[in-house]
Amino acid sequence: MEKKIRIAIQKSGRLHDDSMRLLKECGIDAGNSRNQLRVAATNFPAEIFFLRDDDIPEYVQDGVADIGFVGENVVLEKNKKVNTVEKLGFGKCRLSLAIPANKRIRSAEDLAGKKIATSYPHILSGYLKKKKIKADIHTISGSVEIAPRIGLADAICDLVSSGNTLFSNELTELETILQSEAVIISNNDLSPALQKILHKLLFRIQSVKRSRNNKYVLLNAPNEKLDAICGLLPGMRSPTVLPLAEPGWSSVHSVITETDFWNIIEQLKQQGAEGILVIPIEKMIL
């Protein structure tokens, strides 16, 4: 019987859709997963379990699942014995201290002796210990942001994405404790067969991630400017240069990272590049 890797994914919430979309982009067909607790991929040796995100680190530690897609904040809070093997680039958020907008608190040190409400007591206690701040931690689940309004706490420590929830509850961020995103965690004792499947999955995921961060660029360049233009376009190794039918001109093909894109395009135009085409990359294999 073919060995299958068991993947734990959040059954609902902000990471579920992105995790399933990533598997699909990796060419893994999990069929219709709605309202199911377990599905088997039809074209990859994998089974997918849909679980509460808070339970995923423990299930991976205990070997119920071999790997899990989960928020880094959950991994650190649950503090289970698992390996973090890949950051996924989605589900980005931050764990921050926040205070009522009218509080006269200017820094984390001003929270000494205060009450802080949070769903992340492990991370918060480690942060306060590192900063040598003694404060009372009140652990609550859900609706942490209302704690100051009902007199339960002087401040909160909670996840922030856009900041709209804080604003609507008349809270303001004081300090960021942790930057988080979705990660893949694995059991510490994967068999060689499961490690091989994991490496195949990571190869696909890394190819998809690279494609998201890069653009394929085609342009026409006068031959006397080729050296300058190629110097702006390193590509994966070096740009591809092909002669055009029109004498004195060449077609140049390369890859530009998303972060450098507009700056490089402007420089290419200044060097005489024309007919610049920018094409999204579906997969990028190195």
State which amino acid sits at residue 130.
Answer: K
Measured distance CA(251)–CA(244) in Å, rounded: 6
pLDDT tens across 11-31, in order? 988 899 999 999 999 999 987
Identify whether 139 is part of a domain: yes
Q: What is the mean pLDDT of residues 248-259?
A: 89
Helix (H) or strand (E) holding 285: none
State residue 259's pLDDT score.
79
Q: Which domain holds residue 128?
A: 93-180
pLDDT tens-digit series, residues 90-124:
999 999 999 998 888 889 999 999 999 999 999 99
Are 72 and 139 contained in the same domain?
no
Highest mean pLDDT among 115-129, 142-156, 228-242: 115-129
Q: What is the CATH number of the domain that holds 265?
A: 3.30.70.120
Short-list 120, 113, 115, 112, CA closest to 100: 115
Domain membership of residue 285 (yes or no) is no
Query: How many CA atoms lie less than 13 Å away from 192 in the CB half-sphere?
Result: 0
Domain boundary among 180, 196, 222: 180
CATH number (domain holding residue 128): 3.40.190.10
pLDDT for 21 equals 93
Q: How high is the pLDDT of residue 153?
A: 93
236 pLDDT higher than 70: no
> In terms of domains, do 40 and 98 share one?
no
Same domain assignment for residues 110 and 151: yes
pLDDT number for residue 1 = 63
Q: What 8-state DSSP symbol labels residue 272?
A: T
DSSP 181-194: -EEEEE-TT--HHH
Q: What is the pLDDT of residue 234?
A: 67
Beta strands in 101-168, from DSSP E residues, in sequence order = 115-118, 136-139, 155-160
pTM: 0.84
Are 198 and 223 contained in the same domain?
Answer: no
pLDDT in tens, 172-227: 999 999 999 999 999 999 999 999 999 999 999 999 998 888 889 999 999 999 99
| Whether 20 and 83 share a structural domain | yes
List pLDDT tens digits, range 33-80.
667 889 999 999 999 999 999 999 999 999 999 999 999 999 999 999
What's the domain count of the chain?
Answer: 3
> What count of other Cβ atoms lies within 10 Å of the Cβ of residue 213?
13
Q: What per-residue string of b and e applies to 178-204 under the rule 16 or more CB within 10 Å gives b?
A: bebbbbbbbbeebeeebeebbeebbeb
Percent of the chain with pLDDT over 70: 98
Overall average pLDDT of the 264-274 stretch = 91
pLDDT at 235: 60
